[in-house]
Structure 1
């Protein structure tokens, strides 16, 4: 099995070393490089094969948000943001930049390893604390925009009725298996619907699809 190639990005060498130690015990994960700022990360990703980037936010020269956007746009790897700060602006900026995951640095080693595996397999994840904050923020935005035209209505119209149903279930936090049982579909069929709808609404992953579902008005908080 080809190991998952990981790039560690943090301006503190001790933090990078700690993450490297946590990941080094995994047979299917290989730390292929380390960078002390966003500029170094972008350069490394451009010249090496990288599957997952564990990215700090606050760094000199180029911060983690800008570096994430450049790496993702170039198709040079998937990014998990790691930070000690539970700040909403970091969360939303990271998602807009294309990050596939968001974890706090105090996460358990198992959570870190799980994040690397999940993101490398094409999934998206948020730390439980950040999921609560995301839903809260979406609720606030929805209330503020109730009288304004919903975003993404034109993209929403591209979806079939079944794809809308699947997206609604995704927005309520249901897994593919739960969606399959709830809609009386096979899990393979659900995966196909998820893949199709992500392309139609122009989102990279499930997290961004959930944001879209709320912003477009397809799902209302508390519904």
Structure 2
């Protein structure tokens, strides 16, 4: 009887272990994370929409939810003033691309990174980010239409010390090696600045691509808005 009892106990323990192992091997439950833009202060507006991330949404994409992205606020008074000005002087040119689902414009002037974020806001838009091949194509088509294929342009990305990686904002997607646009040779480089830009039009292809840049330097940029 003692032998039978021990055998029964061993069988029960074995079944419990098998159940535990089965639970450990079960597929990970997918969760969603929503990143909400900070509420704009009185007298300011923010056109950045909430971003919902399915984790893992894409096996090739990773996110840094702890990253701190710059606020995209602009003064409501400036927005109204610029809107009235655009009715009289429709500059810069605004292009409808990709079956009119995306509108873009290329800056007339050069600004530092944080000024470009506010300037895009004044046009009800966001600074360009290469979060998909379609967005990269839209950027390239805008340069072709403007006949400005060579230059340096700010993008909506920066270095996140929270994850020790560069991310697109506000999606907080980590920019890896397999994105639509590659990095320039020698980049990312910790000594070159925290903000993200892209170099285009160089004869040597290794000199074209993403690179981190000093946020205080002034250069061109492209803004876009997706029509819903």
What TM-score does the superposition give when structure 2 sets the normalisation length? 0.26
CA radius of gyration, larger in: 2
What TM-score does the superposition give when structure 1 sets the normalisation length? 0.27
Considering Cα pairs closer than 8 Å and 6+ residues apart, tell me whether 1 or 2 has the greater RCO.
Answer: 2
Higher normalized strand content (fraction of residues): 2
